[in-house]
Amino acid sequence: NAGVMQNPRHLVRRRGQEARLRCSPMKGHSHVYWYRQLPEEGLKFMVYLQKENIIDESGMPKERFSAEFPKEGPSILRIQQVVRGDSAAYFCASSPPGPRTGNTIYFGEGSWLTVV
Amino acid sequence: DQQVKQNSPSLSVQEGRISILNCDYTNSMFDYFLWYKKYPAEGPTFLISISSIKDKNEDGRFTVFLNKSAKHLSLHIVPSQPGDSAVYFCAASDLRGSARQLTFGSGTQLTVLP
């Protein structure tokens, strides 16, 4: 039973390039979350998606960042025209469907973006 | 506006002793609480959780206590082991619309000294 799979694990981009981070949720999970951890900081919520639907993107920067979770395939977090301040660890998490209080979210290993 | 706070950025404990990590929250709509452990260069790993209808949940060396009136929870690890050295994140869950979301604290770095 594979866990949450993220790739790439490490990504280096030059300023101005695009970064694409992919996330495949755990089997049976239909909710995907993206979190960002900047150096020396905690986990910050970015966006919450279900298949073909953005539920909450209140944590996403207003420009250059977008996320999708298509009907088929992984969820993708896309950062256009990257800047040095985008360098961070990006964690994807998934949870089962439904509003039950017992639903725990499980994290992937993370994607480390370095902008040079 | 930090709704989940971990006021101690770091904690050092001797091996074999008890580690107590604390977490405070402000949102009374939170009804489910979780602790995650994170090693460097890895994703957070779920550790233990507690529903707001309980005040204690135990799993092996890990016990989480919830004081709803004080909006405070704590994680006890006993006995502490060097392998427990990691960053511990407290998280709180609430229902927004039709789905749940987690709000994380800023983490506490636990160091267990041999």
Per-residue pLDDT, A89: 95
The candidate with the shortest Cα–Cα distance to B11, out of B105, B77, B90, B108, is: B108
DSSP one-letter string for A41-77 = --EEEEEEEETTEEEE-TTS-SSSEEEE--SSS-EEE
Per-block mean pLDDT, blocks of 10 residues, chain B (114 long): 89 97 95 93 92 95 97 98 96 76 90 96
B89:A103 CB<8 A: no
Chain B from 53 to 92: CB within 8 A of any A CB: 89
Token pair 């392998």 is found at: B83
Distance CA(B109)–CA(B114), nearest Å, equals 16
Per-residue pLDDT, A67: 97
Distance CA(A53)–CA(A50), nearest Å, equals 5
Tallying the residues shown for chain A, one arrives at 116
Residues of chain A with pLDDT under 70: 1-2, 98-103
Per-residue pLDDT, A99: 60
- On whether any CB of chain A is under 8 Å from the CB of B40, the answer is no
